[in-house]
Structure formats: structure tokens, C-alpha cells
């Protein structure tokens, strides 16, 4: 920035300067479940996909008293109507996920008068999906989206193998939950894909798993290799998971110089009848993260944890290891109260050397509220922090703020994954 045209920053113009800079900083959304249009039915957008978001299903099923199976046997549209009635029409949409839908409709100029779902649907009808996705990326300032790509998912593998012009706005990540957390169930799929592996992880199997990883890393060139891990994750232990980490994942990631993204703290399928909406969380021990950062110092780890109680300890751990980059307020933590709390702890212990947020979006429109709500919180905290510096006479400039926000919303990720 040409310092000559820079605005001198003071209490009066601080909020406006930060606003301007946040609006002009292109975001890299480092973890989503979004897919470009080339991925056909996996690319979700529009009001019915929004209402069938598993966050809203979990909330609506507290009111809806029909059997779960009956709920799932309904059409997507009929499920939307039930969800709309209970969470928007008959009760106020106070939850973060429900308020998020209202934020989206507002930002996209969709009238919510009379709380009439059919009227809302009419306004979505005829929208060209291509244009709509580009408009959302424009409105939100999201430049790059990191997908979650699982080659052990048959439908997704089919689409990943299909020759098509990749959309440069989408980056791949290699997601290995099935391979690492459900090894025995993955053996069949791997054999079907031509990798000769046995449940008992013998040297030949290790070689084949490494071949699988190398094949998909060269095919997708993922920005990182990711796994979500249960709250009871313990490393090292006597499980297949530890063997696969030690013999395959960590050496390969080191060899190709790609970070491992660990998303720790799930308690999957607490209520399986709720399907995707049935997962919960547990408090994890950080010893395993510490062990990995210490003993695999040539590996880089992107880490997010699901439990509120783990956040302070994780942030302190990041002060000890530069091969550890913490990111995002994941899933049940992505609510204003906790985003504010976690982000303050991180600023106060790490300065700007962390990645404050990822959206975890599953439906395109969600980018609008997930980023608008989080950026508002990050902005308010930055105002407070900079006001303290200004009050102490620190010569804060517009380019200082620009640099800080650029680090937080894109550069920390770019540098850590060598994008």
C-alpha cells in the first residue's frame, strides 16, 4: 500500500478502516463440504438444501414428534416445510443456524414478508446455479474454497475420476476418516480399487496403503490431508490407527511436504436415527497432539478441536510448536458467544499467528452467514485491541491493519500449506 495515501488511523475512523480492509481482503475458506457444479448432486444451494441442513434438522427434531424413519421417508420439500414451520413460523428463528438463514435471505434480497416459505421458494426459482455461486463468492469475498474429498466414497470417487475442467476457485483436501478410523471396513473398498491390503497391517499392506495415498495425492494435489478424530483419540496406542499414522500417513505427508489436518473431539452417531445430525462431541486429551508435534517435528499439523474446554490448552500448545497451526471455531463452537471467547483467547496468546475461522459450509448460501457473523465478531475484537494500542500512543497505520487481517484471513494458511 502506498503509505502516502494511507489514512492515519485513530479512534474516530478505526471501525471504518477495519471494515474497508475486511471487505477488500479475499478469504481462503480452508475447510468446507462444498463442491463445484461439476460434482452434480453434491453441489448444494437454495432454500430447500438450506432448510435440510443437519444443524436445523437436529433443532427441528426437538419439536417434530413423528418417528425418525417417517421424517426421513418424506421428500426434501416436505421435510423443509416441517422444519420451516417449527423453527421459523411457529417459533422464532433464534438459534445461530436459523438466524443464519434469515441473514442469507436478507443479503440476497429475498423477501421474508409473511414468513411464507412458498413465496421464498418462488424467489429462488429460475436462479442460474453457476451465476448464483459466483454471486455468493462475490458477496462474501471468499476467493478459494477448500473441499473435503474422500476417495473411499464411491459416488465422490466416480466424480473425482471423471475428466472435467476443475474450477480454480476450489482446492482439494484428501479426507481419510474411513481409512484411518474404520480400517477394517475400508479393506474391501481398497481391494476393489486394486490395492492389495489385509486387515492385519503387514508390510505388504503398508506398501499398498502408501501407494493409495501417493496416487490420490498426485491426482488431487490436496492442500492438506485431513482426518476427524474421536474425543478419545490417543496416540500412540495399540490400534490400527496408530500403525497407519506411523507407517503411512506421517511419512508420506513429510515426504510430499503437506500438512496433516487433525479435527479432534467428535462423538459420532450419538443418535444414529438423526443421521448426520446425530453426532456430538467429547472433551479430548491434548497429550496426543503434543506427542505428534514433538516426535514428528518435520510434519506440519493443522489442528481444530470440537470441545470448548480444549481451546485454552490447545492455544497454549500452539505457543510451543511452530509446526502446529490452529484453525477455526468448529461446528458446535461456531456460535457467537464461543467464537468471541475463542478468538480473544487466541489473539491474547498468539497475536495474529492463527487461522480464526473456516465455514464448514455444506450448502453454498451458508457462506453468506457463516462469514458475515464471524467477521463481525473478529472486527469488534480487533477494534477493542487496536483502541488499546492507540490509547498507548502506538503509531498504528492502515497498512499494519491490512497486514494483520491479510494474515488472519488468508496468508497464515497460504504460508503454512505452501499454497
Binding stretches for ligand FIX (CB under 6 A) = 33, 148, 228, 263, 276, 331, 360, 362
Helix ranges, 44-164 (H): 47-51, 54-60, 68-73, 76-84, 96-107, 117-124, 129-140, 154-161
- Contact segment (CB under 5 A) with Zn ion among 151-159, 194-202, 355-363, 366-374 equals 355-363
The nearer residue to Zn ion, 201 or 281, going by C-beta atoms, is 281
Dihedral pair phi/psi, residue 234, rounded to 5°? -135, 120
From 156, 360, 365, 398, residue interacting with Zn ion (rule: CB under 5 A): 360
The nearer residue to Zn ion, 190 or 222, going by C-beta atoms, is 222
- CB 339, min distance to ligand FIX, A: 13
Give me the sign of the Cα torsion angle 53, 55, 61, 67.
Answer: positive
> Which one, of 203, 206, 310, 208, lies nearest residue 262 by Cα?
310
Using a 10 angstrom Cβ sphere, with 0-12 exposed, 13-18 middle and 19 or more buried, the burial of residue 409 is buried
- CB 222, min distance to Zn ion, A: 15
Which x/- pattern over 221-250 shows residues binding Zn ion (rule: CB under 5 A)? ------------------------------
- CB 165, min distance to Zn ion, A: 26
228 binds, among ligand FIX, Zn ion, none (CB under 5 to 8 A by kind): ligand FIX
The nearer residue to ligand FIX, 117 or 147, going by C-beta atoms, is 147
- Contact segment (CB under 5 A) with Zn ion among 180-188, 196-204, 211-219, 357-365 equals 357-365
- CB 360, min distance to Zn ion, A: 4
Q: Is the peptide bond before 94 cis (omega within 30 degrees of 0)?
A: no
Using a 10 angstrom Cβ sphere, with 0-12 exposed, 13-18 middle and 19 or more buried, the burial of residue 103 is middle
Q: Measured between alpha carbons, how far is 142 from 371 in angstroms, rounded to an integer?
A: 9
Give the CA-trace dihedral at 244, 245, 251, 255, to 10 degrees: 100
- CB 343, min distance to ligand FIX, A: 18
The nearer residue to Zn ion, 360 or 365, going by C-beta atoms, is 360
Residue nearest to Zn ion (CB): 360
**One-character DSSP codes across 61-75:** TTT--S-HHHHHHS-
Q: How far is CA 308 from CA 271, 313, 330, in A?
A: 21, 10, 10
C-beta neighbour count of 270 within 10 angstroms: 12
Residue whose C-alpha cell reads 463481525 in the numeric block: 376
Residue whose C-alpha cell reads 475428466 in the numeric block: 163
- CB 45, min distance to ligand FIX, A: 16
- CB 330, min distance to Zn ion, A: 7
The nearer residue to ligand FIX, 79 or 358, going by C-beta atoms, is 358
Q: What b-and-e string marks burial along 158-183, b requiring 16 or more CB atoms within 10 Å of the CB? A: ebbeeeeeeeeebbbbbbbbbbbbeb
The nearer residue to Zn ion, 373 or 402, going by C-beta atoms, is 373
- Site residue total, Zn ion (CB under 5 A): 1
The nearer residue to ligand FIX, 54 or 285, going by C-beta atoms, is 54
Cα 193–Cα 194–Cα 200 angle in degrees, nearest 5: 95
The nearer residue to ligand FIX, 276 or 383, going by C-beta atoms, is 276
- Contact segment (CB under 5 A) with Zn ion among 87-95, 298-306, 336-344, 352-360 equals 352-360
- CB 335, min distance to ligand FIX, A: 12
**Which residues bind to Zn ion, rule: CB under 5 A?**
360
Amino acid at each position: 500500500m502506498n503509505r502516502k495515501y494511507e489514512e492515519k488511523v485513530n479512534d474516530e475512523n478505526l471501525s471504518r478502516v477495519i471494515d474497508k480492509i475486511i471487505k477488500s481482503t479475499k478469504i481462503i475458506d480452508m475447510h468446507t463440504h462444498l463442491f463445484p457444479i461439476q460434482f452434480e448432486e453434491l453441489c448444494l444451494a437454495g432454500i430447500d438444501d438450506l432448510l435440510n441442513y443437519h444443524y436445523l434438522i437436529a433443532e427441528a427434531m426437538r419439536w417434530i414428534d413423528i418417528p425418525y424413519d417417517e421424517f426421513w421417508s418424506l421428500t426434501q420439500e416436505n421435510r423443509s416445510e416441517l422444519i420451516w414451520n417449527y423453527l421459523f413460523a411457529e417459533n422464532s428463528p433464534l438459534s445461530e443456524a436459523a438466524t443464519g438463514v434469515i441473514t442469507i435471505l436478507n443479503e440476497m434480497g429475498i423477501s421474508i414478508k409473511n414468513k411464507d416459505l412458498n413465496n421464498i421458494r418462488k424467489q429462488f426459482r429460475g436462479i442460474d446455479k453457476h451465476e448464483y455461486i459466483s454471486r455468493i463468492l462475490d458477496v462474501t469475498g471468499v476467493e478459494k474454497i477448500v473441499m473435503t474429498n474422500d476417495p473411499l466414497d464411491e459416488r465422490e470417487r466416480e466424480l473425482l475420476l471423471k475428466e472435467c475442467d476443475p474450477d480454480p476457485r476450489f482446492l482439494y483436501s484428501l479426507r481419510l476418516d474411513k481409512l484411518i478410523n474404520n480400517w477394517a471396513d475400508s479393506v474391501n473398498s481398497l481391494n476393489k480399487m486394486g490395492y492389495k491390503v489385509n486387515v492385519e497391517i503387514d508390510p505388504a499392506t503398508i506398501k499398498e496403503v502408501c501407494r493409495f495415498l501417493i496416487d490420490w495425492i498426485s491426482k488431487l494435489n490436496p492442500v492438506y490431508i485431513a482426518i476427524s478424530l474421536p474425543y478419545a483419540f490417543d496416540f500412540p496406542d495399540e490400534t490400527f490407527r496408530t500403525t497407519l499414522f506411523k507407517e503411512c500417513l506421517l511419512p508420506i505427508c513429510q515426504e510430499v511436504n503437506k500438512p496433516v489436518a487433525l479435527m479432534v473431539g467428535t462423538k459420532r452417531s450419538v443418535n444414529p436415527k438423526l443421521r448426520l445430525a446425530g453426532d456430538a462431541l467429547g472433551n479430548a486429551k491434548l497429550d496426543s497432539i503434543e506427542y505428534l508435534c514433538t516426535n514428528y517435528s518435520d510434519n506440519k499439523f493443522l489442528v481444530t478441536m470440537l470441545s470448548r474446554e480444549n481451546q485454552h490448552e490447545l492455544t497454549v500448545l500452539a505457543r510451543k510448536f511452530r509446526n502446529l497451526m490452529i484453525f477455526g471455531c468448529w461446528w458446535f463452537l461456531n456460535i457467537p458467544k464461543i467464537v468471541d471467547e475463542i478468538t480473544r483467547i487466541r489473539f491474547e496468546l498468539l497475536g495474529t499467528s492463527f487461522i480464526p475461522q473456516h465455514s464448514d459450509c455444506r450448502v453454498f448460501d451458508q457462506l453468506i452467514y457463516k462469514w458475515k457473523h464471524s467477521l463481525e465478531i473478529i472486527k469488534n475484537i480487533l477494534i477493542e485491541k487496536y483502541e488499546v494500542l492507540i490509547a498507548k500512543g502506538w503509531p498504528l497505520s492502515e497498512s499494519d491493519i491490512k497486514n494483520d487481517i491479510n494474515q488472519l484471513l488468508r496468508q497464515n494458511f497460504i504460508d503454512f500449506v505452501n499454497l
